[in-house]
Amino acid sequence: MESRGISLGELAVRFGCKLKGDPDARVNHVAKLEAATPDAVSFLANPKYRAYLATTRAGVVVLDEASATDCSVPVLVTKAPYLVYARIASVLHPPPNLPPGVHVSAVVDAAAEVHPTAHIAANVVIGAGCRIAARVVIGPGCVLGMNVIIAQDTRLMANVTLCDGTVLGERCIINPNAVIGSEGFGFAPDQVGGWVKVPQVGSVRIGNDVEIGACTTIDRGAIGDTVIDDGVKLDNQIQIAHNVHIGAHTAMAACVGISGSTVIGRHCMIAGQVGIAGHLNICDNVVITGKSMVSASINKPGVYSGSLHAEEAGKFRRNAARFARLDDLAKEVRQLRGKHQSDPAENTKID
């Protein structure tokens, strides 16, 4: 946080807003409409909170033109209030500026390369062949296996594990207890009812500006790599199996599970607790609503939903096939009813 904050005039210029209020007034943090004080920025993006505009004490509210007349305090007018608020919040609440250097309790292999501007916190372990770029932050308790590569300005929070060969791009944020590059779930059944482990010899490659939530796990590829493209945002407790490929700027909410070798396109949104079967293709610009089960590829952009309770597999498949035809069957029924009602012979009453 800046000690004296930032002026409303500077915010308006920096983020392309129209200011209605004193350009010299200053703010230094963000807050909810109902709790804000005169040194705070708030915003209105959801109409259900409009009633607070008349009573808020915020120093300035970010909102659209249609809402500006209802506000009792200065406003920053924009077509995208939530987006502008997010950018202002990033200015007022930047990540801590940690000093460069390696904590005395960290264990860094002699064959690792750590840029002098990187921050390596307490109890970190960095294996041989790792390359840590400029201004990287590695939080306490993180473990990096061998040959891990982390590009500049990426931040690892506490207790993150990056297994051998993991590659992270620039400006990524990896939240606590995430595990990236662990072995995929690969076992071949043998003839006596047991299982034979299939070696997982690939790795994980993550692009720039990716954020990965707490306790999310991303398995390394069995053959080839698991790939997370630029700008992907993953919530907490997500499971990404081996050889999955997630396209740029796709976002996933908590508890999504994606089975192996599935390819998900760009700019998709996948809601919480969605399950996606393996070896599928999901095209670009697909939205999947919460708790849906995806068991077939999706080749057309749009919004998809669907989940059914578990039952005997053969019966489930027959019912699922019939369910897919319900709309066509309903149209046939309507057509038959219309024909019945319009046919004089059918309507003739016989005493």
**What pLDDT was estimated at residue 342?**
65
Every domain of the chain and the residues it spans = 6-92, 101-304, 315-347
Q: Find the helix packing angle between 326-342 and 313-324, rounded to 10°.
A: 50
Per-residue tokens: 325: 């035809």
The answer to whether domain 6-92 and domain 101-304 are alike in fold is: no
Q: What tokens appear for 32 in the block? A: 């909810």
Maximum distance among all alpha carbons in the chain? 103
What does the pLDDT read at residue 347?
53
pLDDT at position 80 is 96
Residue-level pLDDT at 1:
38
Q: What is the distance between the terminal CA atoms of the chain, rounded to a whole angstrom?
A: 90
Active site residues per annotation: 242
| Homologous superfamily (CATH) for 101-304 | Hexapeptide repeat proteins (2.160.10.10)
| Phi, psi angle pair for 271, to nearest 5° | -80, 175
Q: 224 with 242: CB under 8 angstroms?
A: no
Beta strands in 231-314 (DSSP E): 233-234, 239-240, 245-246, 251-252, 257-258, 263-264, 269-270, 275-276, 281-282, 286-288, 293-294, 302-304
Mean pLDDT in consecutive groups of 10 residues from the start of the chain, 351 residues: 77 97 96 96 94 96 94 96 96 93 98 98 98 98 98 98 98 98 92 90 97 98 96 98 98 97 98 96 97 94 84 83 84 83 56 47
pTM given for the model: 0.85
Q: Dihedral sign, CA of 135, 238, 202, 193?
A: positive
What is 6-92's CATH superfamily?
MurE/MurF, N-terminal domain (3.40.1390.10)
